[in-house]
């Protein structure tokens, strides 16, 4: 589903060159749930951004669901992100000025759909994460766990095949964290391919496979 | 997407209220200035209706002289007409073209009352000013022995006073003793210059015994210079000792009149230009700040599938929605002007001013939003998401 070959990422300033990722080779199979672990600054988020086409590698090739993206322009990449990928972030990234249901609808604004279709799909996604009773609320009225559930609903509303989660439980207590992991596991059982960055060993153990990074290099 | 933008702006109306007020105020000021400009331009493009290039205004003031003033003015008129440099000359009331004087009143016909300007002159005025008639003729000296005072009106007066009828030979009662008879109709006579609107007016014939209308309009031959003016003034001073004699050129008076009209327009333009510049700079600053604050949102939208173009359009769209809110508020006030016929201006002036104000406001907000919006679109999604 996601294939990375010899991926390297170098950040350059006028005086320093930092190797963030070094020769990463990774093949994430369809319906697989993998976790990426490693100390802070080892390149986990960079790897996730590259997988999510939010950042381009300095070297190497990326393949998403059979499509090689190296020659894709901004429009093609945006289309692929919209259709194939769903993102969940540690800090939720909800828009405070929009209600829960309007936040969930955001990915659908970038594809052709009617207002009714968007509303129906957003309601369906919110029902899946158990927040159908909070549709009209605003993010400031929600707890951390509820915010992350809204973010998950937003990630799955467009029915993407891949979900990329960057420390989705990082800002939550263990009870909430387990609840979120439970939702992700359920989504995986329903067919989604999930890549999750985490610091939590216990969470990582519950996934199918663990990828460890150290100083930008894949160690297992 | 538009609905989404409306929702986003509506939910942030508190934050944007000052900006809405600022755009609303700019719209109102712009509407006022543009109404003034549209009014003046629409007047300017209409012909003035007469020739003034070679025409001088000889203003005679009899001061303390109270003996035979009318005869003396007539003698001066004959003398002026006798110069080979003079093509024609005519006596006229003090409200000569481009002067600040005005004489107005109302006349009634068949219960229709029309207010208009009154000009008094002798039979030569149409020659001096090359006033073309669209029907009838200019009054002649022999008309003075007729029962009714001959008058010439303009087409505006004909249209308003006689509605769909022709004005020629119609008799109008002016007061208990005086009746006017329309002998001719001129197209237009914008005595205050190009910026004057075409208003109803009446030219009334004066007799040789009239001592009150002591201006003489003189049409000189091409090439006549100040040397002739000095000679003429000297001759008249000899004929009229103790009288005030002043000569002015209508083309100079016209420029003075233009300045009187244009100076307030220029002042309004400078004030509104200053205001609009402030609004533009304010908008630019607010948008830049907005984008800096909303980097996380930009990153999120890019991650969700927004292209650079869509991010640009979103920020432009937001400012257009804000401008639309503000201008809807402004329109509520602006439409009262044509509806209530404020300042007696044609509705088309206000409608044009409203359209222009809307276009200019959209143009300004677009220009101000363009650069920050492009900047927002260029923010790398991974960087934007990381920075929040």
- For B108-131, b/e burial (b = at least 16 CB within 10 A) is ebeeeebebbbbbbbbbbbebbeb
Q: Mean pLDDT over all residues of chain B?
A: 91
The reply to whether B252 falls in a domain is no
A180 or B331, which is more confident: B331
pLDDT at A5 over 80: yes
**B41 and B67 co-located in one domain:** no
Is B32 in the same domain as B124? Answer: no
Residue B148 domain-assigned (yes or no)? yes
If asked whether residues B87 and B143 sit together in one domain, one would say yes
> Any CB–CB contact under 8 A between A49 and chain B?
yes
- Please judge whether A45 and B386 are an interchain contact, meaning their C-beta atoms are less than 8 angstroms apart: yes
One domain, residues B40 and B137: no
| B155 found inside a domain | yes
B288 shares its domain with B160: no
Which of A50-64, B77-91, B173-187 holds the top average pLDDT? B77-91
| Residues B164, B264 within the same domain | no
What is the ipTM metric for this complex?
0.90
Task: Write down the pLDDT at residue B119.
Answer: 96
Cα–Cα nearest to B193, from B256, B268, B102, B266:
B256
Question: What domain count does chain A have?
Answer: 1
CATH assignment at residue A144 = 3.40.50.300
pLDDT in tens, B314-346: 889 988 999 999 999 999 999 999 999 888 888
In this structure, is residue A66 part of a structural domain? no
Q: Say which residue, B378 or A197, is predicted with more confidence.
A: A197
d(CA B262, CA B274): 18
Q: Rounded mean pLDDT of A170-195? A: 89
Tokens of B186: 């001129």
Q: How many CB pairs under 8 A join A and B?
A: 74
Q: pLDDT tier at B387 (50, 70, 90 boundaries)? A: low
Paired tokens of B373: 């919006």
Whether the Cβ atoms of residue B303 and residue A92 lie closer than 8 Å to each other: no
Residue A160, min C-alpha distance to chain B (Å): 11
Residues B378 and B235 in one domain: no
A27 close to A3: Cβ distance less than 8 angstroms: yes
Reply yes or no on whether the pLDDT at B1 is more than 80.
no
Contact B151, B204 (CB under 8 A): yes
The whole-number pLDDT of residue B349 equals 94
Number of domains in chain B: 2
| Mean pLDDT across B188-195 | 94
> Looking at residue B173, what is its pLDDT?
82
> Best residue in B297, B305, B310 to probe A by mutation, most A CBs within 10 Å?
B305
CA distances to A129, B194, B344, B368 from A173, rounded to whole Å, are 18, 80, 72, 45
Residue B187, pLDDT > 90, answer: yes
Give contacts of A82 with chain B, Cβ < 8 Å.
304-305
Residues B215 and B94 in one domain: yes
Residue A16 resides in a domain: no
B307 touches chain A (CB under 8 A): yes
- Report the pLDDT value the prediction gives residue B161, as an integer from 0 to 100: 93
In a domain, A22, yes or no: no
User: Where would I find the H helices in B182-307?
Assistant: 226-239, 250-293, 295-303
Q: Within a 10 A sphere around the Cβ of B56, how many other Cβ atoms?
A: 26
Task: Give the pLDDT mean for B355-382.
Answer: 89
CA dihedral over A62, A68, A71, A74, signed as positive or negative:
negative
Structural domain that includes position A169: 29-57+72-218
- What is the per-residue pLDDT across B240-275, written as a single tens digit (0 to 9) for each? 998 999 999 999 999 999 999 899 889 988 988 888
Whether residue B237 is found in the same domain as residue B371? no
Residue numbers of the domain that contains B176: 63-242
How many Å lie between the alpha carbon of A55 and the closest alpha carbon of chain B? Answer: 6
Asked, for residue B249, whether it belongs to a domain, the answer is no
In a domain, B56, yes or no: no
Question: Does residue A208 lie in a domain region?
Answer: yes
| Among B353, B376, B373, CA closest to B365 | B373
| pLDDT tens per residue across span A87-96 | 998 888 999 9
């Amino acid at each position: 589903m996601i294939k990375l070959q010899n991926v390297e990422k170098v950040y350059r300033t006028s005086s320093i060159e930092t190797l963030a990722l070094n020769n990463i080779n990774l093949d994430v199979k369809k319906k697989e749930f993998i976790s990426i672990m490693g100390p802070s600054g080892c390149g986990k988020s960079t790897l996730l951004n590259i997988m999510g086409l939010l950042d381009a590698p300095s070297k190497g090739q990326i393949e998403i669901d059979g499509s090689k993206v190296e020659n894709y322009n901004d429009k093609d990449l945006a289309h692929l992100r919209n259709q194939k990928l769903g993102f969940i972030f540690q800090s939720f990234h909800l828009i405070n000025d929009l209600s829960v249901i309007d936040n969930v609808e955001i990915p659908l604004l970038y594809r052709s759909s009617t207002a009714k279709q968007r509303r129906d799909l957003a309601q369906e996604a919110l029902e899946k994460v158990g927040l159908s009773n909070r549709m009209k609320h605003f993010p400031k009225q929600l707890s951390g766990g509820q915010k992350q559930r809204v973010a998950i609903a937003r990630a799955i509303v467009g029915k993407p095949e891949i979900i990329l989660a960057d420390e989705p439980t990082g800002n939550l207590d263990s009870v909430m964290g387990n609840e979120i992991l439970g939702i992700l596991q359920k989504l995986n059982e329903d067919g989604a391919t999930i890549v999750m960055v985490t610091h939590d060993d216990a969470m990582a153990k519950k996934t199918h496979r663990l990828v460890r990074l150290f100083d930008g290099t894949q160690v297992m | 997407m538009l609905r989404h933008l409306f929702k986003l702006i509506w939910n942030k109306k508190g934050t944007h209220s000052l900006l809405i007020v600022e755009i609303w105020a700019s719209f109102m000021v712009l509407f006022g200035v543009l109404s003034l400009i549209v009014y003046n331009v629409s007047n300017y493009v209409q012909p003035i209706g007469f020739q003034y290039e070679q025409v001088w205004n000889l203003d005679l003031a009899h001061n303390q002289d109270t003996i035979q003033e009318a005869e003396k003015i007539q003698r001066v008129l004959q003398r002026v007409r006798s110069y080979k440099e003079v093509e024609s000359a005519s006596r006229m009331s003090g409200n000569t073209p481009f002067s600040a004087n005005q004489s107005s009143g109302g006349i009634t016909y068949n219960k229709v009352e029309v207010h208009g300007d009154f000009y008094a002159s002798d039979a030569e005025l149409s020659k001096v000013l090359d006033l073309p008639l669209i029907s009838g003729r200019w009054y002649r000296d022999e008309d003075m022995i007729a029962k009714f005072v001959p008058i010439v009106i303009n087409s505006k007066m004909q249209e308003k006073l006689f509605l769909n009828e022709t004005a020629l030979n119609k008799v109008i009662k002016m007061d208990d003793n005086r009746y006017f008879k329309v002998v001719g109709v001129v197209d237009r006579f914008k005595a205050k210059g190009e910026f004057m609107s075409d208003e109803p007016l009446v030219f009334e014939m004066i007799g040789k015994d009239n001592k009150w209308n002591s201006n003489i309009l003189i049409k000189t031959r091409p090439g006549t210079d100040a040397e002739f003016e000095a000679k003429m003034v000297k001759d008249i001073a000899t004929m009229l000792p103790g009288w005030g004699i002043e000569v002015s050129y209508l083309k100079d008076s016209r420029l003075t009149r233009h300045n009187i009209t244009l100076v307030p327009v220029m002042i309004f333009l400078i004030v509104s230009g200053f205001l609009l510049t402030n609004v533009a700079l304010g908008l630019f600053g607010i948008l830049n700040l907005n984008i800096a604050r909303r980097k996380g949102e930009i990153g999120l939208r890019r991650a969700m599938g927004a292209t650079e173009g869509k991010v640009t359009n979103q920020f432009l769209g937001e400012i257009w929605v804000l401008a639309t809110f503000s201008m809807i508020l402004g329109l509520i006030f602006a439409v009262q002007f044509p509806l209530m016929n404020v300042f007696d201006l044609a509705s088309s002036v206000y409608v044009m001013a409203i359209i222009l104000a809307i276009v200019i406001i959209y143009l300004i907000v677009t220009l101000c939003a363009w650069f920050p919006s492009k900047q927002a679109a260029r923010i790398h999604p991974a960087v934007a998401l990381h920075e929040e």
